[in-house]
Amino acid sequence: MPIVYDDATKRFALHSKAMTYAMGFDDKAQLRQLYFGPRLPHITDLPTCRAEDKPSAFDVTAEEPAYEYPGWAGLFYSEPCLKATFADGVRDVVLRYHHHHVTGDNGLVITLQDAAHPLDVELHYEIFESENLIKRYAVLKNHGDEEIMLDTALSAAWHLPKLQSYRLTHLAGRWAGETQIFQNPIHPGKTVLESRRGITSHHANPWFGVDDGAATEESGDVWFGALAWSGNWKIAIETTVEEQVHITGGIHDFDFRWELRPSDTFETPAFIAGFTSGGFGEASRNLHRYQREHLLPKNFSRQPRPVLYNSWEATYFNVTEQGQIELAKRAAELGVELFVVDDGWFGDRSSDHAGLGDWQPNAVKFPHGLRPLIDRVHSLGMKFGIWVEPEMTNQDSNLYRAHPDWVYHFPNRDRTESRNQLVLNLAKPEVAAYLFETLDKLLSENEISFIKWDMNRPFSEPGWLDASAPQQQEIWVRHVRTVYDILERLRKRHPDVAFESCAGGGGRADMGMMAYADQFWTSDNTDPYDRLSIQEGFSYAYAPRTMMCWVAESETWVKNRPSSVDYRFHSAMMGSLGIGANLLHWSDEEMARARELVRQYKEVRSIIQFGNLYRLLSLRTHHTMAVQYVSDDKSRSVVIMLRQHQHLLETMPILRLRGLEPDAMYLVRGINHPQSGQALMARGLQSNLRGDAVSDLLVITKQA
Ligand code: DGJ
């Protein structure tokens, strides 16, 4: 039974295969978290729940209760999940248990009520038994007849057990340098991971991991979690006076306000967390499995992602019907399955100064509309995809000329541009309606199978002046909800269209967007070496099949650092493969090698996209990165390794494989004697890769 409630002691235990999460309410009916860690078989294994005896007169916070969903009230000084202002001026929230019910096999809803005001808080839980994850969110309900102003409404708080020391692992970076891995000891005080830019951001990603400082890829206790939200977010990591860590997260409360009207509800995004004693590797695999099995849009989650071609780095804005056809012919020769026209096809778009908002084909570049190109792409045996950036407009566009009031702005202030563009106010119903109708029309009138949805600037001057004063700050939430809503409705009406979430690279990669997008554009940085650390960090939180990678030119705009076709392909094969180079410049030899590598990728992509990922070697500790993917039934495996640098006479580090059946016999392609899974995992493989910027791909197959 995944959900157990013991009425005698008022305790709840939520069990997955290897994890238990427990709560109970004290004699003041306040709900506290009791335990989060390895599975405990009996309810009696759990600590009891009682209100503390009198707190210390000198430090009331010394024994701060581990409230499950702390309201700001009384002697509570940590990060609250909930802060509200009631119509009578009361500004604290005291939450007491009211009732609970179990939903289905794995769900639980606990309802708390404010002690005096008509505010209910439903805490929703879902336990994922095989993935050892728990999903939480809260629904706040106003059942009175006056407005309640929400000042903070986070998703969840997680209280970690007392460890000797704590270390935080998180993902941060910059544009073209996303998802770098950082690890720091947790000291007293508060660490806030956040975005206040309106999108998830390149600068921090809403994922965390905490361990005692000793966990590795392979082993050690790790608590980890990720927020399912694509706008302003915050994850706060704090220590109590007793040096115990708790983590609170959700929609950022900076500049947040939400007017909860009578009978209204406010649902927070989900915060998904887990515990594993299998190190960071297993933490990632558990999240990946959850994403593949439960989160990604169902209509494509069982199909392999196609090999795509994208025109951006080949043509930039210089998109024309004939130019794209020429590229499409070359892409088809390589075995590409989806041809995507990027920015530059619409409106008056010949640079990033104009056109955003005018989603009709440019009449000079496409005199007969998109159809001739789409037909040609289809006749070459590929599907057709297209780029849009719906949330934006340029001042030099018909849309802006007609509706200058459709962008976020404050009166008498500059409308600060970034990339020469402004953000449309998606909180306005007429803007949301326009966007949905425009995209729906684009998809209805053209045989389009894929949309790359881009978003190339953060918010500024977030004014929504025609809304009532209390509602104006709701834009942060309403914007994201509108994006989700438009995507959901488009997906319903056009179920054969897949979507990629892009925000100038990986600025909007998160588990909120993952419910609506089949893949992410990981980074604008297409240098195959730079990509390795970006991809490694990305893989901590997100499944390889969602990680879009392109093979670019040998010398990219990022660095004048030539690399072989193999090296570029091997780097890009770690997720969903794409090609973004100008193929018209590739020699016959390069084309032939690329064709072969696309063929190899197709042969193994089901292992990469549906299998389990093991990070064998990291550039953080070696000059080589190696990743292994193992099919669910352990019968097939792939290893991709890229050696950046050989120094003195260094040999390659031994690759100790993972995840195989110890007693089964496996054949490594290229080695003609079978070896046991145990030998491959314990003794490992010695690769003879020599030199700088060299790479290889190994295919491992179980013998019948
Ligand atoms: C930013 C994206 O990340 C790029 O791939 C490309 O689509 C450009 N925008 C187009 O403007």
Centre of ligand 1 from the C-alpha of residue 548, in Å: 13
Residue among 408, 497, 422 nearest 456 (CA): 422
- The order of strands in the sheet holding 19-25 is 3-6, 11-15, 19-25, 31-38
Given 211, 343, 518, 524, which residue is catalytic? 524
Q: Which helix (H) or strand (E) holds 501?
A: strand 498-501
Q: Residue 287 CA to chain centroid, in angstroms?
A: 10
pLDDT tens-digit series, residues 258-288: 999 999 999 999 999 999 999 999 999 999 9
Cβ proximity of 230 and 200 under 8 Å: yes
Interval 388-415 mean pLDDT? 98
Residue among 578, 581, 591, 551 nearest 567 (CA): 551
User: Could you tell which of 387, 450, 531, 547 is best to mutate to test the pocket of ligand 1, judged by most ligand atoms within 8 Å of the CB?
Assistant: 387
Model confidence band, residue 63 (pLDDT cutoffs 50, 70, 90): low
Cβ proximity of 255 and 473 under 8 Å: yes
Collapse the DSSP code of 82 into the 3-class scheme (helix H, G, I; strand E, B; otherwise coil) and give the result.
Answer: strand
Positive or negative, the Cα torsion across 605, 523, 460, 405? negative
Model confidence band, residue 536 (pLDDT cutoffs 50, 70, 90): very high
Q: What is the pLDDT of residue 81?
A: 98
Centre of ligand 1 from the C-alpha of residue 276, in Å: 37
Lowest pLDDT segment from 19-23, 308-312, 394-398, 668-672 = 668-672
Give the C-alpha separation, 630 to 636, whole Å: 6
387 Cα nearest atom in ligand 1: 7
User: Could you tell which of 313, 345, 524 is best to mutate to test the pocket of ligand 1, judged by most ligand atoms within 8 Å of the CB?
Assistant: 524
DSSP state of 359: -
pLDDT at 182 over 80: yes
Model confidence band, residue 62 (pLDDT cutoffs 50, 70, 90): low
pLDDT tens-digit series, residues 434-456: 999 999 999 999 999 999 999 99
Specify the residue with its C-alpha closest to ligand 1, atom 10: 343
Give the C-alpha separation, 478 to 468, whole Å: 14
Half-sphere exposure of 288 (CA within 13 A, CB side): 25
Residue among 312, 276, 564 nearest 456 (CA): 312
pLDDT at 139 over 90: yes
Q: What is the pLDDT of residue 680?
A: 98
Specify the residue with its C-alpha closest to ligand 1, atom 1: 504
Specify the residue with its C-alpha closest to ligand 1, atom 6: 312
Catalytic status, residue 454: yes
The letter for the amino acid at 482 is: T
Lowest pLDDT segment from 48-52, 238-242, 531-535, 566-570 = 48-52
3-state helix, strand, coil in the chain (%, to 5): 25, 30, 45
pLDDT at 210 over 70: yes
Q: Residue 455 CA to chain centroid, in angstroms?
A: 15
Q: What is the pLDDT of residue 169?
A: 98
pLDDT at 61 over 70: no
pLDDT at 53 over 60: no
Q: What is the pLDDT of residue 560?
A: 77
- The order of strands in the sheet holding 156-159 is 156-159, 245-251, 233-239, 190-195
Given 358, 454, 518, 530, which residue is catalytic? 454
Half-sphere exposure of 667 (CA within 13 A, CB side): 7
**Residue 633, number of CB atoms within 10 A of its CB:** 9
Please list, in sequence order, all residues whose beta carbon lies within 8 angstroms of the beta carbon of residue 356, skipping any fewer than 6 positions away.
Answer: 347, 349, 389, 392, 393, 394, 397, 399, 421
Structure tokens at 492: 């319903």
pLDDT tens-digit series, residues 355-378: 999 999 999 999 999 999 999 999
**Residue 586, number of CB atoms within 10 A of its CB:** 20
Q: Which helix (H) or strand (E) holds 569?
A: helix 565-572
Give the binding-site residues of ligand 1, using a 6 Å CB cut-off: 312, 342-343, 387, 454, 456, 502, 504-505, 521, 524
Angstrom CA distances, 534 to 225, 291, 431, 531, stand at 19, 19, 35, 5
Give the C-alpha separation, 84 to 539, whole Å: 37
pLDDT at 164 over 90: yes
DSSP state of 448: -
Q: At what angle do helices 565-572 and 588-610 cross, to 10 degrees?
A: 20
Q: What is the pLDDT of residue 1?
A: 85
Residue among 63, 268, 228 nearest 159 (CA): 63
Q: What is the pLDDT of residue 558?
A: 84
Give the C-alpha separation, 574 to 541, whole Å: 15
Per cent of the chain over pLDDT 70 is 98
Q: What is the pLDDT of residue 591?
A: 98
pLDDT at 52 over 60: no
Q: At what angle do helices 279-290 and 530-541 cross, to 10 degrees?
A: 70
pLDDT at 545 over 80: yes
Cβ proximity of 138 and 93 under 8 Å: no
Structure tokens at 490: 């488009």
Mean pLDDT score across all residues of the chain: 96
What residues does 272 pair with on adjacent strands? 135, 226
pLDDT at 243 over 90: no
User: Could you tell which of 454, 501, 547 is best to mutate to test the pocket of ligand 1, judged by most ligand atoms within 8 Å of the CB?
Assistant: 454
Give the C-alpha separation, 254 to 703, whole Å: 57
Centre of ligand 1 from the C-alpha of residue 454, in Å: 7
Structure tokens at 50: 């009682």
Environment class of residue 634 by beta-carbon count within 10 Å: exposed (0-12), middle (13-18) or buried (19+)? middle
Environment class of residue 29 by beta-carbon count within 10 Å: exposed (0-12), middle (13-18) or buried (19+)? middle
Q: Comparing 377 with 648, which gets the higher pLDDT?
A: 377
The distance in angstroms from the start CA to the end CA of the chain is 37
Q: What is the pLDDT of residue 376?
A: 98
Q: Radius of gyration of the chain from Cα atoms? A: 26
Collapse the DSSP code of 548 into the 3-class scheme (helix H, G, I; strand E, B; otherwise coil) and give the result.
Answer: strand
Give the C-alpha separation, 545 to 301, whole Å: 9
pLDDT tens-digit series, residues 474-514: 999 999 999 999 999 999 999 999 999 999 999 999 999 99
